[in-house]
Amino acid sequence: MACCNPVVISTNGSLPDNYAGSPLPMINEGDEKALKHEIEKLLYMSDDKRLKLGEECREWIIKKLSLESIAKQLLEILELI
C-alpha cells in the first residue's frame, strides 16, 4: 500500500482493526472465491483506476500508519494518563 500498490486484506488477526476504513477490499479469511474475485477486479481494472486506488492507498497509509501518525496517536494516549 505504501508503494501505491492496491492489495486485498483478509480478516485475519489484527488486519481488520488496523486497516478499517482503508480504500481496499477486505475479505473473510479462507474465502478463496472472494479472494479470486477481488484479485480479478484489480487485474481487470483500468490502469487509471488502479493508479488512483494505489495513490489513495498510499495517502491512507501516510495518514493512519506513518511513524509520525503513530507517534501522534501514542502521545495523545499518554497525555490522557
DSSP letters for 35-80: HHHHHHHHHHS-HHHHHHHHHHHHHHHHHHHSHHHHHHHHHHHHHH
pLDDT greater than 90 at residue 49: yes
Domain holding 20, by residue range, is 9-80
Instruction: Determine, yes or no, domain membership for 3.
Output: no
Q: What's the pLDDT at 15?
A: 87
pTM value is 0.74
Q: How many domains does the chain have?
A: 1
pLDDT (tens digit per residue) in 18-27: 888 888 889 9
pLDDT (tens digit per residue) in 26-48: 999 999 999 999 999 999 999 99
Cβ count within 10 A of residue 57: 21
d(CA 2, CA 57): 7
Instruction: Determine, yes or no, domain membership for 4.
Output: no
d(CA 54, CA 46): 12
**Checking phi first, is residue 10 left (phi over 0); if not, alpha (psi -120 to 50) or beta?**
beta
